[in-house]
A = this chain, B = another copy of it.
Amino acid sequence: MNMAKQRQIKLGAFIMATGHHVSAWRHPDSQADAGLNIDHYKELVQTAERGTFDLVFVADSPAGWDRTKDPEALRRSSQGAHFEPVTLWAALSQVTSHIGFVATASTTYEDPYLLARKFASLDYISKGRAAWNVVTTGADVSNNFSIPGHPAHADRYKRAEEFVDLVKGLWDSYEDDAFIRDKQSGIYLDPDKVHQLNHSGTFFTVSGPLNVGRPVQGYPVIVQAGASEPGRELAARTAEMIFTANQTLEDAQEFYGDVKGRLARYGRSQEDLLISPGIFPVLGGTEREAQDNYDYIQSLIHPSIAWSILQRHYKGVDLSGYSLDDRAPPLPADTELNKSRLKLVTDLVERNNLTLRQLYLAVAGARGHRTVVGTPEQIADAMVEWFENGAADAFNIMPPILPTGLTDFVDQVVPILRRRGLFRHEYEGTTLRENLGLARPANSFAVARDQREAG
């Protein structure tokens, strides 16, 4: 009998206020004020924890999402106002005990010392359940940050590389055993185990030490989502989980193989980086019911929202001569914005010969992520297919409507994955790293000293 533990699926709940579908807020089941409703988020994270999810995740932009200039589309958009992720997760860490919290934060618009500090705080406050989704921010939000303009793609990635290394260095300021706290002798800490980083680079000059102890997990888990060439390289060097968007098994396998193949170059092994594609599950008791559910939510999209979605993909292109039933023209090759997502949508259009209507309907829910419409068994099958064929280690579940889309997934799909022996019944550990099976990183200063002393 083979006693080897079956490889297990990891699950993230990718939370978007009212749900991932662009018109989710109009659905009778959605919480229309979700973005600013803490009780709504509390319900969601507790539902995800009931389903023994590894983590919850929110995307983020340092400024408003919706930059449409069409007043009709603006009037109908629910995307403008929502919580800052670290504040939100800090709050919800107190009403949960095991689930991990992935907060998105920008290396282009935040400060590394303040960012290192707030994530270290979050890791302590949650008792080792913090993760940082490192983003460079594709959209130009420079007009809110007193800087002359949005840095170019290549510069953003150079800055991100330096930023991440610097933040890790700051998290190493205190060694794990730096604190002695002996009341009798009055010795509080060992100053030899507190380090100044003295970082001086292209973008930053930061001496340290950080004014927080070393995070419970050593470092919060590092997540990355870029799929461009510099994005993949940054991920291979620094990330422990990648959130990715793929439509087909083949594309997902290509991405999985490519990124995993880069790890050895950085002295890392296959298990050091988990690949987690998004999946947008539209559930129904039968296939027909699922399709009806999908059609209903798609019917809630107002034409002005449809055109604003199209205009976002056809940046700089005049669409005024087109009707929704015209064949979609070729997408422009925008060189700065959402490179990898643009390629994905371009492939989708070309593969399926879409009309403009079919194009906006294809991205209105999953925004380029994989859409699966079906019964709970069919959703589970779709996940297992990718998991067992070199395309995924984990999945980011993107419920169309919240809170019900998450509740349904937990109640209907999770039990199937458990029955198949592919998903946990109980959490293995108390920290996010323990549950994801990721090693706790050593302190770079301690490693350097050990090497000096050995050498």
Contacts and interface: CB of A to CB of B under 8 A. Distances in A.
Interface of A: 23, 25-28, 32-33, 35-36, 38, 42, 61-65, 71, 74-78, 80-84, 86-88, 90-95, 109-111, 113-114, 117-118, 120-122, 124-125, 127, 143-146, 174, 179, 181, 183, 186-191, 194, 203-213, 300, 302
Nearest to A81: B213
27 contacts: A23-B186, A25-B188, A27-B183, A28-B183, A33-B179, A36-B124, A36-B212, A38-B124, A62-B117, A63-B211, A71-B191, A74-B191, A75-B188, A75-B189, A76-B186, A81-B212, A81-B213, A84-B114, A88-B90, A90-B90, A91-B125, A92-B94, A94-B95, A110-B114, A113-B144, A144-B206, A146-B204
Nearest to A70: B191
A181 B81 contact: no
Given A83-B121, A121-B83, A211-B82, A113 B203 contact: no
B84 A212 contact: yes
A187 to B, nearest CB: 6
A291 to B, nearest CB: 22
A71 B187 CA distance: 11
A209 B64 CA distance: 7
Given A78-B188, A84-B117, A92-B94, A111 B145 contact: yes
Contacts of A84: 114, 117-118, 120-121, 212
Contacts of A28: 183
Copies of this chain held together in the complex: 2
A144 to B, nearest CB: 5
A162 to B, nearest CB: 11
B300 A186 contact: yes
A142 to B, nearest CB: 9
A209 B67 CA distance: 11
Nearest to A174: B81
A188 B124 CA distance: 38
A62 B114 contact: yes
Contacts of A62: 113-114, 117, 211
Give the one of A88, A111, A121 with max B CB within 10 A: A121
B91 A203 contact: no
A179 B25 CA distance: 13
A425 to B, nearest CB: 27
Give the one of A36, A127, A174, A181 with max B CB within 10 A: A36
B91 A33 contact: no
B186 A88 contact: no
Contacts of A83: 121, 124-125, 212
A183 B25 contact: yes
Nearest to A148: B205
A181 B87 contact: no
A32 to B, nearest CB: 4
Contacts of A174: 81
Contacts of A181: 25, 32-33, 78
B143 A207 contact: yes
Contacts of A35: 213
Contact of A87 (B95, B122, B208, B210): B122
A146 B78 contact: no
Contacts of A86: 87, 118
A145 B75 CA distance: 40
Nearest to A113: B144
A229 to B, nearest CB: 28
